[in-house]
Amino acid sequence: MDALEILKQVNNIFIDILDNDDIVLTSQITANDIDEWDSLTHVQLVVAVEKHFKIRFTATEIREWKNVGEMCYSVQKKLL
């Protein structure tokens, strides 16, 4: 799966979990850019992403993401 496709699917997950159809993700976006994305919803997003792609992140990986792009990159690595 390529980076763009992953981004698209993650975008859908965000729209679903955060209940906001207007969300458009780019790799630079961080939690500061989206209102509903806080430390509490963050975990829900992580779980949803894990379930969707059937992968499991480590706590360290989750902590190290600085933006959406890095999250997607982690997904990509797990799918290889």
Partner 1 sequence: MLVYMLFDSIHYLIFLSIVFVLNYLLPHKFRWVLLLVASLYFYLVAGASTIFVALIIVISTFICGLLLDRGKNAKTKKFYLLIGLFINLGLLAFFKYINFFIATSFDGFNMMHHFVNTGEVFDKTPIVLTLLVPLGISYITFQAIGYLIEINRGNYSAERNLGLFTTYLLFFPKLLSGPIERAHNFLPQLLQKHDFDYSQVVQGLKRILWGLFLKLVVANRLALYTSAVFSTSEQHTGITLLVAAVFFMFQLFADFGGYTEMAIGSAQILGFRLMENFNNPFVSKSTTELWRRWHISLSTWFSDYVFNPIVIDKRDWNRWSVVYASFVTFLLLGFWHGANWNFLIFGFLQALVLSLEFLTKKSRKKLRNHFPDFVNNIVGVLYVIAFFSFSLIFFNINDTNTAFSIIKKIFTFRGSFYFDSPSLILYSVIGIFTLLLVQYKREYYKGNFSFTNNKSWIVRYFIYCSLILLILLIGVFDGGQFIYFKF
- What is the contact surface with partner 1 in residues (CB under 8 A)? 19, 39-40, 43-44, 46-47, 50, 59-60, 62-63
Q: Closer to partner 1 at the Cβ: 11 or 61?
A: 61
15-20 contacts, C-beta under 8 A, 24 or more apart: 16/48, 17/41, 17/44, 17/45, 17/48, 18/45
Q: Closer to partner 1 at the Cβ: 8 or 77?
A: 77
Q: Closer to partner 1 at the Cβ: 49 or 72?
A: 49
